[in-house]
């Protein structure tokens, strides 16, 4: 039984029988992996509380090569991110971010730059002001698309490859700009203002610190949220259910 050591963010935690938990982590070293945490479902279990979603932990895993499930044996909390759980305004974008990473990435596919991006977002949400949440989320989504290889093609038409020019539309299905000639061939073309267009292009490569300094109009916020959601939706392996918590009134948490 090989032993793995990893640093990871807990993405999901489900009951397994009466006392155990099935936990999915996104680890820096080994990518996304799932394991059984024996006894972690017991009341007041320290081990169990370290495995709450969003926690940044060090963990030790045992596993067999022929089975996809590991046994999570030991954990140390590096950052609990408890501030996120205590504030619904911060919790919902944080849960959305871990769900999105979970839905985009395959198991056992290490993505250290995605790991750094997620850690950066959770840290900013935890320490920063809620006024920046929208722009952080859009920067996170756009950078995530780039890092997992789905950066939208914005410089030239995704169908005929002519250089992009105004006016143009964005088609999430073809993954980028479509020129006026090609636009009738796609059913999901969205018109964006030139300013929103430039913002989208910037967000895909913008350093994290610079994102905080961006200021977006209400229309740009809505357009970017809609477009990035549509672009990501083309690549997720399952529905990102927590997306509906974004922009929803606070009383929706009763249903979680």
Interface residue list for Zn ion (CB under 5 A): 157, 159-160, 179, 182
Smallest separation (angstroms) from Zn ion to the CB of 15: 51
Q: Is the Cβ of residue 117 or residue 189 nearer to Zn ion in the bound state?
A: 189
Instruction: Find the shortest distance in angstroms from Cβ 181 to Zn ion.
Output: 5
Which of residues 135 and 182 has its CB atom nearest to Zn ion in the complex? 182
Residues paired with 7 in a beta bridge: 58
Contact 175, 150 (CB under 8 A): yes
The length of the chain in residues reads: 256
Q: Minimal CA–CA distance to 244: which of 192, 236, 255, 234?
A: 255
Number of other residues whose CB lies within 10 A of the CB of residue 217: 12
Instruction: Round to whole Å and give the CA distance between 198 and 132.
Output: 20
**Of 98, 53, 102, 61, which is closest to residue 80 (Cα–Cα)?**
53
Closest CA to 145 of 89, 203, 191: 203
Residue 72 or 159: which CB sits closer to Zn ion?
A: 159
Q: Is the separation of the CB atoms in 229 and 200 below 8 Å? A: no
Of residues 33 and 159, the one with the C-beta less far from Zn ion: 159
What are the tokens at 181?
């000639």
SS3 61: strand
- Nearer to Zn ion (CB atom), residue 190 or residue 229: 190
Smallest distance from Zn ion to CB 170, Å: 13
Radius of gyration over every alpha carbon of the chain, rounded to an integer in angstroms: 20
- Nearest distance from residue 182's CB to Zn ion, in Å? 3
Of 58 and 190, CB closest to Zn ion:
190
Least spacing, CB of residue 183 vs Zn ion, in Å: 8
The residue among 103, 102, 139 whose CA lies nearest residue 120 is 139
What is the nearest approach in angstroms of Zn ion to the Cβ of residue 164? 9
Question: Residue 161 Cβ, how far from Zn ion at the closest point, in Å?
Answer: 7
Q: Toward Zn ion, which CB reaches closer, 70 or 177?
A: 177
């Amino acid at each position: 039984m090989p032993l793995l050591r990893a640093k990871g963010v807990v993405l999901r935690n489900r009951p397994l029988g009466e006392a155990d938990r099935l936990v999915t982590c996104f680890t820096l070293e080994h990518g996304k992996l799932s394991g059984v945490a024996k006894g972690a479902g017991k009341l007041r279990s320290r081990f169990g509380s370290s495995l709450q979603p969003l926690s940044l932990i060090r963990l030790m895993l045992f596993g067999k090569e022929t089975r996809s499930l590991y046994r999570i044996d030991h954990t140390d909390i590096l950052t609990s991110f408890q501030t996120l759980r205590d504030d619904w305004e911060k919790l919902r974008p944080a849960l959305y971010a871990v769900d999105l990473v979970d839905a985009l990435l395959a198991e056992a596919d290490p993505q250290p730059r995605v790991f750094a991006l997620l850690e950066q977002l959770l840290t900013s949400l935890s320490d920063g002001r809620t006024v920046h949440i929208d722009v952080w989320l859009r920067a996170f989504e756009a950078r995530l698309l780039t890092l997992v290889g789905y950066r939208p093609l914005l410089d030239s038409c995704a169908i005929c490859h002519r250089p992009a020019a105004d006016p143009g539309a964005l088609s999430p299905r073809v993954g980028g700009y479509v020129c006026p000639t090609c636009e009738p061939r796609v059913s999901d073309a969205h018109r964006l203002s030139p300013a929103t267009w430039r913002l989208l292009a910037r967000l895909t490569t913008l350093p994290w610190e610079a994102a905080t300094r961006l200021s977006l109009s209400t229309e740009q916020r809505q357009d970017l949220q809609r477009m990035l959601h549509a672009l990501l939706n083309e690549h997720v392996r399952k529905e990102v259910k927590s997306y509906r918590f974004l922009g929803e009134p606070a009383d929706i948490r009763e249903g979680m």
